[in-house]
Chains A and B, each alone.
Chain A
């Protein structure tokens, strides 16, 4: 019985089929590492702080402009005019656009790394 068990094992080991592709292992490892890199990059932290600052500044400047238009006494005492409010508003909009462009054209962003696939 023992001999027969060994014979079966021997037959299977002797006739084992090989994958006729020398780069099989390398391809799997390379594909796995590439997939890993994409997943890692997709999880990259996006800095929302500039966006929050920009949006807050926009809201504040709109608020100031509205107060100036309502002839608010406190605003008048500070010497804040409608033009000042509009300048701050324009600056914050430019700042936001710049930050968004900078963030979404960074090399670690999803659409950049998807092109790598």
Chain B
């Protein structure tokens, strides 16, 4: 199904292009935001990444998923941006956490968990996002980040442990 949309996008079909951008823009933006921690910069990076991808879409081969290719570009652009700007990688809740309107227990727990995710180290958080939000396999995360599969397994195990401990602590 997606390969048909990609074929149409290659031929310049605006409907197919819109479908592709709409489908992946949110996760691409969240990945960029997680790395650069600035909404405007994340938006610019997401836009540039899409333009880069669409410009080269005729070179896309089905040996990996389109989303993996896109997230790799977003990841590299974001990491490159942070390096250029020499940003200090500290977590700023005001940028990453939107205010919640409801404060019942379930939503409060989700809010706390989200804050805990944002308190993780940058690499850990990015891998958690790719694994849980983008639903990427460990092999695909390795392709996106350039890290080894073993390294990703260790990071994922460590990050989950931290989050589960936090959740257990909250539940007590």
Closest 10 CB pairs of A and B: A11-B113, A12-B133, A32-B54, A15-B114, A25-B21, A9-B132, A29-B17, A11-B114, A11-B110, A28-B50
Cβ–Cβ < 8 Å partners of B27 in chain A: 16
Q: A27-B47, A29-B18, A32-B55 are in contact. Are A16 and B167 (CB under 8 A)?
A: no
Contact indicator per residue, chain B 1-40, by CB within 8 Å of chain A (1) or not (0): 0000000000010100110011001110110010000010
Cβ–Cβ < 8 Å partners of B30 in chain A: 16-17
Q: How far is the CB of B161 from chain A (nearest CB, A)?
A: 10
Are B43 and A9 in touch, CB under 8 angstroms? no
Are A12 and B50 in touch, CB under 8 angstroms? no
Residues of B within 8 A of A (CB): 12, 14, 17-18, 21-22, 25-27, 29-30, 33, 39, 43, 46-47, 50-51, 54-55, 96-98, 109-111, 113-114, 117, 128-129, 132-133, 160, 163-164, 167
CA distance A10 to B106 in the complex (A): 11
Cβ–Cβ < 8 Å partners of A5 in chain B: 132, 160
CA distance A17 to B25 in the complex (A): 10
CA distance A19 to B39 in the complex (A): 8
A26 within 8 Å of B by Cβ? Answer: yes
CA distance A31 to B25 in the complex (A): 16
Are A11 and B51 in touch, CB under 8 angstroms? no
